[in-house]
Structure 1
Amino acid sequence: MPPPPTPTPPLFRQVADTIRARLRDGTYPVGIPLPGERALADSFGVARVTVRSALARLQEEGLVTRLRGQGTLPLGQAMAEQHPKLHNGLLDNIVSQGLRTRIQVLSCTRQPCGEEIGRLLQLPPAAAVLCIHRVRKSGGAPVMYSEVALPESIGAAIAQPLLEEMPLLTLMERAGYPFDHGEQELSATIAPAHVALALKIPAGSPLLQVRRVVYDARKRPIQYLLGYYAPERYRYRMHVSRSGSASKVWISEGSATRHS
């Protein structure tokens, strides 16, 4: 008897396989949202629910992350292999938050690093860094003020005209400096005058202060960030889980609330 015919995979799996192949060959670049569900459904000749199921499968694999109101963002095969839970993790959530909000760049200058930034970025004294001062907005209201320092070699490689269009970590990765992990410290503080002006709040108002150092796969620091969040406009959630003998903490920078 002839062998039974090989069953045809479900449509959603066929769509997922094709999108996965396009992610791997660069047809869909990392950090650039995929075409919308309707456009994908039309191109594959399937229903939107089929596309939705395919994207859900790819999200489970860690190849994409789906952002409400922003579409589907490719994460790339390498990132999926290094971070199988990245879509629930800190750094990818930071990228996602960057796509859900708007950035206004206040200044972008090359200057000598101070003692603290030089120590955190492991740079020699007075080494040049690219300093970027930004305000992140949601619904037109300022949510976060940040000061970012990049080593000069990295700052020179990123596309500065895109600083208001794409998350900085995505720009760094596209320039050949992908992130691997980060260390972050949270504390309460009061708003300095320049931060209060940027966030449109009274000087001395209580703020959540974030200090973050991001590293590459070789454990070299590639970004330092000092951020200030208005607590009444921003929520910070933490999910703690246990895997094997180790505990893992996934940080979720909660949705910014809209203020008129």
Structure 2
Amino acid sequence: MSTVTGIDRRSAAPMYDQLRRLIVEHIENDRLQPGDPLPGEHRLCEQYGVSRTVVRQALAQLEHEGLVERVKGKGTFVARPRTAESLVHTLVGLFDEVERRGGHVRSDILRHETIEADAEVAAALEIAEGSPVVVLTRLRHVDDDAWSLSTTWMPQDVGEVTLGADLRDASLYALLAEHGITATHGVRSAEATVATHEQAGLLGVSAGSALLRLRSVSRDGASRPIEFFIAYHRGDRSRFEFQLGPDSAQGTLVRIP
């Protein structure tokens, strides 16, 4: 560990919070990288003369903050930073959100073709069931880590401009904008779910792991739906941030039947 003073028992600060700060200093001073191991509970107890309860409280707080991750039977490790996404309350896409923070998004294109719209897709895009739509399924990687699995449906005249385009390292929204197709408003929702066996295999998690499910319909200036997508984001790699103000009303609590 680093050469900081240690626990001050006369301080008004709780011991678990002091220990938490000591661990953070250790990570920073020793320049530990994501995946590097941290001392175990027993060693922390001995080194700082605190109880296991204090150690567990400190580690739980660090885990909540996304700074460490605890793996049962293996220990505690420096966590990989989570992507702070504004995807719920803005029309920005994952590619643009990550790129503007200096990261990189790469997509594996799993499906990109014209199909007939089923009832759910037709209702979302406000077209007749059976109408042709372009479907695009992508496994998204952020800085080489599997991050999300998304499927996008577009009306044929919108989606046809994407057919043949290389979207492995490009923004779908930017491509549409090049053809004069721009989303101006829409509705997005987010809910918790768990990974199916198929989703888990693609995202590199265990079946039943926590996922965040985004459902979105975007519209153009004439209020015509131009895109409908459903995306599953790894819960251990993403968090969603909301900008709040005293007079803002950007979100609505929806009761799920």
TM-score band, normalised by shorter chain: 0.5 to 0.7
Q: Deviation above 3 Å: which 4+ runs of structure 1?
A: 92-95
Q: Cα 1:185–1:177, aligned 2, differ >3 Å: closer, same or farther?
A: same
Structure 2: give runs of 5+ residues left out of the alignment.
1-85, 252-257
**Mapped partners of 2:193, 2:105: distance in 1:** 24
Give the TM-score normalised by the residue count of structure 2: 0.58
- Quote the residue 2:97 is aligned against: 97
Structural mapping, 1:21-170, within 5 Å: 90-92=90-92, 94=94, 96-97=96-97, 99=99, 100-158=104-162, 160-170=164-174
Q: Does 1:204 align with 2:208?
A: yes
Q: Which moved more, 1:160-169 or 1:172-181?
A: 160-169
Aligned-pair CA distance for 1:126? 0.6
Conserved 8 A contact 1:144-1:230 = yes
Is residue 186 of structure 1 aligned with residue 187 of structure 2? no
Match of 1:173 in 2: 177
Q: Deviations over 1:41-69 (max 9, x none)?
A: xxxxxxxxxxxxxxxxxxxxxxxxxxxxx
Residue 145 of structure 2 aligns with an amino acid whose one-letter code is A
- For residues 98 and 158 of structure 2, what CA distance do their matches in structure 1 show? 19
1:216 partner amino acid: D
Which residue identity lines up with residue 97 of structure 2 in the other structure?
Q
SS of the aligned residue for 1:169 comes to: helix
- Max radius of gyration: which structure? 2
Letter in 2 for 1:228: Y
CA contact (8 A) 1:188 1:207 kept: yes
Q: Which amino acid aligns with 2:141?
A: K
1:235 is aligned to 2:239:
yes
Q: Does the residue aligned with 1:157 lie in a helix, a strand or coil?
A: coil
Q: How many residues align?
A: 160
1:6-21 paired onto structure 2 within 5 Å: none
Secondary structure, aligned partner of 1:133: strand
Report the residue type matching 1:127 in the other structure: S
Structure with the bigger percentage of helix:
1
- 1:212-237 residue CA offsets vs partner (Å, 9 max, x unmatched): 11110111110011000111111111
Query: What whole-Å deviation, never above 9, does each CA across 1:152-192 have from its counterpart, x for those lacking one?
Result: 11111236323123211111111221110121011111112
Partners of 1:213 and 1:160 in 2: CA distance: 23
> Secondary structure, in 3 states, of the residue corresponding to 1:184?
strand
Q: C-alpha distance in 2, partners of 1:174/1:248?
A: 32
Contact 1:146/1:226 (<8 A) preserved: yes
The structural deviation recorded for 1:95 is 5.0
